[in-house]
Each structure stands twice: as structure tokens, then as C-alpha cells.
Structure 1
Amino acid sequence: MNDLVGHKFEQKREHIASAVECYMKQYGVTEEEAEVELTKQVNDSWQDINEEWLDATSIPRPLLLLILNFARVGVSHTYLIYVDIL
């Protein structure tokens, strides 16, 4: 998710390729197509996380809560970076 938000900013720094740039190069698509596909993958991942949280049987809830909160922190951190860039 972080690469979706900040890849244009990262391009200016030219130190490493973002996920968007890698996807564009690997699949020969435009920047917009890469962003759409990566956003879809992020959304699918969140759906998987939510389904596992609701249907958990073999994994202890405290462990799942730790993983879920870790994912939430990543999204929150990305949002704050995006706000700072704007």
C-alpha cells in the first residue's frame, strides 16, 4: 500500500523502484493499470484478512489480533505519509 501512495514522490528521489514501477515493467502496462491492479490486490488482501478474522478456528485470536493490528498500523502510517506529501 505504501508504494501506491508514495511512488510518484519516490520517483523524484530515484533511489529504488516502487511496486508500481516494478509491476509496469514486469507486465508491460501503464502506470494507471498498475495502480488499479495493485489496489485490487490490496483490497483482496484486506478481504482475506477480514474473512480469516471472522472464520478463525485453528489460530488463536490474540495472534490474529496482533496481525490485524500490524496491518492497520501499516495503513495508518501510509495515510499519514500521503497527507504529508500533499
Structure 2
Amino acid sequence: MTSREDINAVIRGELAAQRLSQTDLASYLGFENRRSVVARLAGECDWKVSELEKTAEFLHLVNVSQLFALAAEREKRANKR
């Protein structure tokens, strides 16, 4: 199973690659401020499935399955080291 850390790393990487901010994502998700996104990306609290679905949409991924596939690929690469 793909770890939370890998999912968070993919989200951070996609945000950076697309030059999007955590504040942009927080606004898209309807959060009051960026702190809610920061807490999720730091592993301080869990993502809700609906939040991950909207995050995938925000990152222009086909669906949340693509987000998990990217995270699984990242995990495979990390395990080969």
C-alpha cells in the first residue's frame, strides 16, 4: 500500500512542478487558510478521500487513481535504493 508520505511527496512535487502554491490548493479545497494543507502535507492530520479527489482535480490529474499511481511509482523507486 502506498504510504501517506509518498502521496504527500507527490502532491508537493506536482504543486512545485506546476508552480502552484499551498495557498492556491487551500483555497480550491475551501479551507480558510494554508495551514490546513500544511498540516496534511506534514502528516499531522489525514486527508479525506474527497480532499484527495479535489486535489487530483486541482493538479490536472485524470483522477485520484493517477495520484495514487504516481505515489506507488515513487515508493517503488525509493525501495530500489
Same fold, judged at TM 0.5 (above): no
Q: Structure 1 length as normaliser, TM-score? A: 0.35
Higher percent of residues as helix: 1
Larger Rg: 1
Q: Structure 2 length as normaliser, TM-score? A: 0.36
